[in-house]
Chains A and B, each alone.
Chain A
Amino acid sequence: ELKVEQNPLFLSMQEGKNYTIYCNYSTTSDRLYWYRQDPGKSLESLFVLLSNGAVKQEGRLMASLDTKARLSTLHITAAVHDLSATYFCAVLTYNNNDMRFGAGTRLTVKP
């Protein structure tokens, strides 16, 4: 069964600092997603990663994928308050379109 582990679960950062969220998964995957969720809202797609070594950046967020290590990272650069949210990674396998989520990282950015 596909398992997805994410850490840390809680992250309190000061504005201007850098940090990394980690996402490990248990089986060969075909696609990895990062989502953002604000309280009471649905999921907003941030990144889709497919191939080994893929790196994508949008603003202060950068995601990477190492399929051999079954590891993805979401790096936050010079955090700002607007980045406060819960971040989820999700892994999809094509054979039956199984898509599972990590536990989520609740990020709080303080001034």
Chain B
Amino acid sequence: DTEVTQTPKHLVMGMTNKKSLKCEQHMGHRAMYWYKQKAKKPPELMFVYSYEKLSINESVPSRFSPECPNSSLLNLHLHALQPEDSALYLCASSQTGGLTEAFFGQGTRLTVV
């Protein structure tokens, strides 16, 4: 199983809503990532978890709150978002050493209205 599964695939939320994005992998990878990608731009790193601990937080606004409840799951909690937060949110996972791929999920297309 080389899949990273993200849910939901599409999400429309109002600026006062609270929602969560979910990401799951069963490859035993101990590094998990959240990226934000705007149209025609590269993926922009938001958070990295290594061994379930937050290792990188790229000064992301507090309206985005990551959580890694166990080694297979990664959540991104969303609250009071702005329309400019509309983007494709990508989750990825990788081994923490060795010549292995970093796998990406299919992404969640988020629209904030």
Contact = CB atoms under 8 A, between A and B. Distances in A.
A100 B45 contact: yes
Nearest to B48: A97
B102 A42 contact: no
A74 interface: no
Contacts, number: 63
Interface residues of B, number: 27
Chain A, interface SS category: strand
B96 A103 contact: no
A78 interface: no
Interface in B25-60: 31, 33, 40-45, 48, 50, 55-56
Given A97-B96, A98-B45, A101-B43, A43 B90 contact: yes
Interface of B: 31, 33, 40-45, 48, 50, 55-56, 88, 90, 92, 94, 96-97, 99-107
